[in-house]
Chains A and B, each alone.
Chain A
């Protein structure tokens, strides 16, 4: 099936449209079935994917607005493949574990549309189509937060929408300018990212365009000064919203850096290493400290999620194969781990109606299974060896060590600080005597909850012990990209950064 990507993108959308007809009592079963089929389709994509080929596969290219250079252009490589699979997996698991009963049909339909936009973003190779899915993803999320969220939900939803919308409009201007530069050079209009890769840009142009794209992506990641929308969004969103937001939507930003910024503006990216990594380190340390100060478990996880996105940013701007592959692996691990953590907090909230740490204590004795899974996920989040979190974080730090040992040290504190707040959280809520009477009667995980969590636990351990099947294709595509960047870079400075790394790798 050569057009499997189109099927992957539009299957959930069509299922969403048809979902309006399904009776509301069967809506949940319908949603889970559709999401499972979608997940199986994405697995099929993986099996038919040629892991030795570093280039784009399953390419579809149909001109849509030829006079304007817009085409329906899809493709997948090692970088995007696993993010797509993670998106479909997390949607499925999120749906299974969902405890919402009110307006369930609207929720299912919204989730299916959201799934379309998420898959669409990661497989688009045309900037306008990318932008289309990117913007469209805001609408279902706005509805999920706004309709099923907490007390401040409307404020949080609108803030989320406006923040991202503003950033991406600046990015749109960047895209239009890039298309114009391409037109000036070649005489042809094109928004295809692969065409843009070949474009020879002066350093000044690169810098300006880099900034325009940076605004769009950085707000989504969210980078340090632009992160203020995220705690609100997480704080108010229902569990499913937080899961999807943390697991998939944030990855759009970091994916954007890998797909657009690095290969199109290699020189500007090298020049921006210091400012961006500085921001990332501030983000890592600062949000980790803020996480420590939180009283609400969900807020701790929200801030820790921001902190770990900082590690991903550092890895991307290591500008070498280790760092970037590590980052992409870390995106997957972050998606699975923080998604699972948000689900766990949601389960706790369903039982008690509160997320405050002070309300809990000694949960390990009442809910042993819950405590074990929470513990595993927590360790993975901190980056314990033999869990999925370790692989990505280690690679990122190794990669960035080539660029700057001092900054690597600073970024590495994230593991320590992360351990501090996470273990404190665990100690306060799970260990010690059961102080609150109500907590004694809490039920342990139900079957459905176990079904939704155990696969994630399995993945955490599997990829922690043996990451090769996933890491190999990622690394292939990343190496091809780094070599391409090295060839394309014009300034000596950029060549140095990218090259030194290459030499070192050969020495190994």
Chain B
């Protein structure tokens, strides 16, 4: 005779679920609206999405730190709150980019926005759980939505990108499933905090290390793929090229933030348990990622592919911070991505502004460097803004990414990894070359063709987003202090 299950509503603590429910509910509302009236304009959906994200944002800020809920699978600690806020803020910045002056296929479908909200909910689940199964559910929800969003762009290379991303992503998901299975087999639990307890007692057993190693490597492969770390990065440039510039900018930040939270949880646990080789693998991956992708970026002929490689390199910086596993290191991750978000999304938006329906400058690329030649004569403000973003990405003070960079480097120095800080410095110097290349094209070369339509796709909402990104990039020094103290407080409250 089975015991009747008896659960009180209080113990479920459904408040922890509200943010995701808001996003999912919002997505459903959009679908229902479409059923009722299929002739609605995309601007309605854009604004609706923004509003839903706004409520979502409010729901996250209302959460209490260090709570569990829903059969203890939800974990609302400081890290999950900070990362959810970051994810939602980035999504809010991204959404208005749909309101371009030219009509692009995908935005006429309300499904685009519904899927987008489901994806955000998926990311939020990844960030707000330490249950390996729920993380898997979040990972798959968000990934499947993202593949579709890419394919909706409706060009040959978008399909290529979506399918490439999908097949590779499926492989990564398989690795994730196997890695979690090994952990479950070892410890009898899928809850990370219980896993840590069991592992701590059994770590001295001979033979168990092999299994730990196997599990760690498989999970690492899965997340290295998501964060596009070397050698699992090869999909990134093609996928970014195939998707719309705005979505590429979004992909260079948000999915990575979600994956990073999970990585911090899993590998932070390993390092805390004293499994030092995990740290060295992470650091090695970080160094390889930032160096090799930088070198690859040097030879790119297309600005979007260059930015794709540059985002990979920045992910290497983040990976290094994860490997440090100190409070400063983890603070650095979120600080870096917050500052990087504005600059990078701004840079991709500038590409989005210059997007044409047909390739006008080269047969192969949408955004070859030649396209931006002499931009200072054609579109002076645009050229200055783009140059600001490039200098910021290169780490020239006082622009935003510089503060992220020195904080990561300081965290490395504090943990005694001075060589790592030097590697980061040298990589910044290498990266300056390809960022400067674009600046040189924009400022020091003459326009190649009749190109008075570079700012083809510009519209007021895009200007607003780019303006916001520019202000955030320039005035970073003003808000770095509150940002650091908030993130540091949140991170240390959750024990990282």
Contact = CB atoms under 8 A, between A and B. Distances in A.
Interface in B392-413: 394-398, 403, 406-407, 409-410, 413
B480 interface: yes
Contacts of B485: 67
A64 B398 CA distance: 12
Interface in A163-181: 165-166, 169-170, 172-173, 176-177, 179-180
Contacts of B321: none
B391 A139 contact: yes
State the main secondary structure of chain A at its contact with B. Answer: helix
State the main secondary structure of chain B at its contact with A. Answer: helix
B144 to A, nearest CB: 40
Contacts of B398: 132, 136
Nearest to B381: A20
Contacts of B418: 173, 177
A486 to B, nearest CB: 30
Contact of B407 (A68, A131, A139, A161): A68
Interface in A129-185: 131-132, 135-136, 138-139, 142-143, 146-147, 153-154, 157-158, 161-162, 165-166, 169-170, 172-173, 176-177, 179-180, 183
Contacts of A139: 391, 396
Interface stretch (B65-73, B109-117, B424-432): B424-432
Interface in A20-79: 64-68
B107 interface: no
Contact of B481 (A65, A131, A147, A162): A65
B484 A67 contact: yes
A176 B426 contact: no
A349 B415 CA distance: 56
B409 A173 contact: yes
A173 B432 contact: no
A153 B443 CA distance: 12
B299 to A, nearest CB: 16
Interface residues of B, number: 34
B421 A135 contact: no
Interface string A104-140: 0000000000000000000000001001100110110
Contact of A158 (B421, B433, B445, B477): B433
B452 interface: no
Contacts of B395: 169
A68 B331 CA distance: 12
B432 A161 contact: yes
A485 B360 CA distance: 64
A146 B425 CA distance: 25
A188 B296 CA distance: 41
A135 B425 CA distance: 13
Contacts of A169: 395, 425-426, 428-429
A436 to B, nearest CB: 34
Nearest to B485: A67
A166 B428 CA distance: 8
B481 A67 contact: yes
Nearest to A179: B410
Contacts of A158: 433, 436, 440
Nearest to A153: B444
Contacts of B432: 161-162, 165
A161 B390 CA distance: 14
Contacts of B394: 165
B414 interface: yes
B137 interface: no
B440 A146 contact: yes
A154 B444 contact: yes
Given A67-B484, A139-B396, A176-B406, A146 B421 contact: no
B94 interface: no
Interface string A179-220: 110010000000000000000000000000000000000000
B51 interface: no
Contacts of B445: 154
Nearest to B440: A154
Contacts of B444: 143, 146-147, 153-154, 157
A302 to B, nearest CB: 22
Contacts of A67: 481, 484-485, 488
B480 A165 contact: no
B422 interface: yes
B399 to A, nearest CB: 9
A196 B408 CA distance: 22
Given A64-B477, A165-B429, A169-B429, 11 more contacts: A64-B481, A65-B480, A68-B407, A68-B481, A136-B398, A162-B432, A165-B428, A165-B432, A170-B422, A177-B413, A180-B410
7 contacts: A67-B481, A68-B407, A68-B410, A132-B398, A136-B397, A162-B436, A170-B425
